[in-house]
Structure 1
Amino acid sequence: MAGFREITSGLRFPEGPVALSDGSVLVVEIARGALSRVAPDGAVSVVADCGGGPNGAAIGPDGAVYVCNNGGFAWLERGGRLVPGHQPADYLGGRIQRVTLDGEVTDLYTEVDGHPLRGPNDLVFDADGGFYFTDLGKRRPRDTDRGGLYYATPDGRHIAEIAYPLTEANGVGLSPDGSRVYVAETVTGRVWCWDVEGPGRLRRDGDGPAGARLLHGFSGYRPLDSLAVDSEGNVCVATLVTGEISVLSPEGSLRHTVRPPRHDPHVTNICFGGPDLRTAYITSSGWGLLYATEWHCPGLELNHNA
């Protein structure tokens, strides 16, 4: 694995990286409530003010950016790093937003079957144009929401709860052929998977929550964040506390880990870009950094992100 290159610094808890064809990278700045663009030279410009806590992001079939907004956090500072805390006093409420690159923000979904979205976290589009997204929920001083996995269409007409309950459902991704969906749970340190029978329809033949099968359970204290899948089918999941990307084979074994040069317990996300998809962009959220490093194989080309 090649060394790391720091693209930019000073971001306000960056997450949800999306590599664009012009070499720039979209990131959400959760603590800033914004979707921002990082140019190849590191210059940062705000694309849109989303409010609350924009979290995961993905390009949809119409070219717009779809954002999971968790509603916001109360923020702490520890040793110069930003750390997300409990549900804040000015909590916006969870929502899925459609954001155009000229800055127009539309709230697409705020509830499912009469239940409000609490803390939408990450999303991935399938080849049919719909998207899977996780809702991690929110933490409060004496209680915590249950999480889940959902499926929705970008036209605002259909949303369904497809796996519930999960424990702090965070990263979500699809296998290269779209036949399997993966979900990382934060606090349990587990990556679950289901076979996909059709858009938003899962085979529930496992012993885990909502019929999931266990891909990998981490030993020790390894909370998990967002994930991406590479062209070999490896699940590359951001691993908190240890501050690294853990690379899991499609069979569930831990192949290796990739750690940025400056330790950050909040290494939160990874995406792939560049002309050959061999550049991995990694968010070091606590320090407000965006890194690039060469990956050992091309990443997976995401649906609708050409």
Structure 2
Amino acid sequence: MTRILKAAIAGVLASSFASAQSSTNKSVVRLDPALDALVSPDAKVELVKGGFGFTEGPVWVQEGREGYLLFTDMPGNVIWKLTPDGKASVYLSNVGYNGPEVWRWGGIQNNGRERTDPQFEEFAMIGADGLTLDRQGRLVVATFAGRSLMRVEKNGQRTVLADRYEGKRFGGPNDVVVKSDGAIYFTDTYGAFRLREKDPRKELDFNAVFMWKDGKLTLLVKDMPATNGLAFSPDEKYLYVNGSRDNYVNRYDVRADGALANGKLFIDMRKETERGVTDGLRVDTKGNLYETAPGGVWIISPQGKHLGTIRAPEVSTNVGFGDADKKTLYIAARTGIYKIRVNTPGI
């Protein structure tokens, strides 16, 4: 067990669990009356568990009447399991970069504090990033610094589905989503490298959206500077993809063969000045987007209107709907996992 992993586990197990009765009392910023149908005016963001390094990729796993949340801690190179009673345990370890000279790998991030703060900390993002479930309920992992798309079989075996395009290694799969026909869509960027796209170890000269289906890898998009989160509309007519460098979301038509066409700017946040970037996103059953963005989690109508913002205490990185009714929005926000109840189920 690596020193980084030991430190990550120790930090989480030492942190206290905040019960559902303990709220951070952070507000939901209402920009349009339509928001009230999606999030109650008195809804509050609550801390579920803290003490992590940099959380990402929350996905809910339902098992009978019970369920649990899986998410990644990227500096610790761990996928965590979080049960409804707030107990965290290591689900998988070493899912990202596992080679020598760890210090040379993974983009540098921080814990979200100001550099003048005595508790400011920087670390290497050597772990996995986005998570989802396939149609058989198997965990699919964008391994980021591991530079692969991986599936975890029911017996725990790890299967690398893809790690290169036309013989060239991925830069760092970032996020992943599964279509109803079983096709896996994922973004690939420069995540594994300290120098990003200037790093000589980066083999592909573009960042991309790929589709993996029945063992075949197809390049769909290669003209976005920094592909990141992605999600389908409820009817799967559209795929939303954000660009984390420039803070915007594109919308693509999904053709019958799964290819993407007619990419258009859906919402532009490039003039926003608050902390945070367009990172993870999810969609509810009515087609509204829940997009991590500058200032928090933006709730965006299917027409592209910003209805309001959920403000977590830390910079939000990704979101996922959970609990049996899919009406709890779990928010990965740097060192913690937060939640808020919503009125419309997610998909």
The 8 Å contact of residues 48 and 105 in structure 1, kept in 2 or not, is answered as no
Amino acid at match of 1:291: Y
Of the candidates 69, 73, 90, which is equivalent to residue 143 of structure 2? 69
Amino acid at match of 1:51: G
The runs of 5 or more residues in structure 2 that have no matched partner are 1-39, 98-126, 199-204
TM superposition shift of 1:225: 0.4
TM superposition shift of 1:23: 3.0
TM superposition shift of 1:198: 2.1
Amino acid at match of 1:55: D
TM superposition shift of 1:146: 3.3
Distance in 2 between residues matched to 1:102 and 1:289, nearest whole Å: 29
The 8 Å contact of residues 67 and 98 in structure 1, kept in 2 or not, is answered as yes
Distance in 1 between residues matched to 2:152 and 2:139, nearest whole Å: 5
Of the candidates 45, 54, 60, which is equivalent to residue 4 of structure 1? 45
The 8 Å contact of residues 96 and 144 in structure 2, kept in 1 or not, is answered as no
Higher strand share: 1
Q: State the Cα RMSD in Å.
A: 1.8
Aligned to 1:57: 131
The runs of 5 or more residues in structure 1 that have no matched partner are 72-91, 205-211, 301-306
Residue 117 (1) aligns with residue 170 (2): yes
Distance in 2 between residues matched to 1:258 and 1:110, nearest whole Å: 35
Q: How does 1:265-284 map to 2 (within 5 A)?
A: 265=315, 267-284=316-333
Amino acid at match of 2:220: I
Aligned to 1:151: 211
Task: Indicate the SS of the match to 1:24.
Answer: strand
TM superposition shift of 1:142: 7.7
TM superposition shift of 1:143: 4.5
Aligned to 2:10: none
Distance in 1 between residues matched to 2:155 and 2:44, nearest whole Å: 34
Amino acid at match of 2:61: L
Q: How does 1:6-85 map to 2 (within 5 A)?
A: 6-21=47-62, 22-49=66-93, 50-52=95-97, 53-71=127-145
The 8 Å contact of residues 190 and 197 in structure 2, kept in 1 or not, is answered as no
TM superposition shift of 1:100: 3.6
The 8 Å contact of residues 228 and 236 in structure 1, kept in 2 or not, is answered as yes
Amino acid at match of 2:228: N
The 8 Å contact of residues 23 and 274 in structure 1, kept in 2 or not, is answered as yes
Residue 239 (1) aligns with residue 239 (2): no
Residue 215 (1) aligns with residue 266 (2): yes
Distance in 1 between residues matched to 2:87 and 2:189, nearest whole Å: 31
Of the candidates 231, 255, 261, which is equivalent to residue 197 of structure 1? 255
Aligned to 1:175: 233
Distance in 2 between residues matched to 1:24 and 1:142, nearest whole Å: 34
Distance in 1 between residues matched to 2:225 and 2:237, nearest whole Å: 23
Amino acid at match of 1:32: G
Q: Which runs of 4+ in 1 moved over 4 A?
A: 142-145
- The Cα offsets for residues 63-104 of structure 1, whole Å up to 9 and x where unpaired, read as 210000111xxxxxxxxxxxxxxxxxxxx4x10111246543
Aligned to 1:134: 187
Larger radius of gyration: 2
- The Cα offsets for residues 37-61 of structure 1, whole Å up to 9 and x where unpaired, read as 1011111111212132210001112
Cα distance change of structure 1 residues 141 and 163 upon mapping to structure 2, 3 Å threshold: closer
Cα distance change of structure 1 residues 227 and 184 upon mapping to structure 2, 3 Å threshold: same
Aligned to 1:292: 339
Q: Return 271-280 or 180-189, whichever deviates more.
A: 271-280
Amino acid at match of 1:46: V
TM superposition shift of 1:199: 4.2
Distance in 2 between residues matched to 1:100 and 1:165, nearest whole Å: 33
TM superposition shift of 1:137: 1.9
Amino acid at match of 2:272: G
The 8 Å contact of residues 162 and 200 in structure 1, kept in 2 or not, is answered as no
Q: Return 98-107 or 143-152, whichever deviates more.
A: 98-107
TM superposition shift of 1:11: 2.3
Amino acid at match of 1:23: G
Cα distance change of structure 1 residues 27 and 284 upon mapping to structure 2, 3 Å threshold: same
Higher helix share: 2
The 8 Å contact of residues 132 and 200 in structure 1, kept in 2 or not, is answered as no
The 8 Å contact of residues 297 and 310 in structure 2, kept in 1 or not, is answered as yes
Aligned to 2:33: none
The 8 Å contact of residues 284 and 290 in structure 1, kept in 2 or not, is answered as yes
TM superposition shift of 1:158: 0.9
Amino acid at match of 1:6: L
TM superposition shift of 1:294: 0.6
TM superposition shift of 1:257: 0.6
Distance in 2 between residues matched to 1:166 and 1:114, nearest whole Å: 21
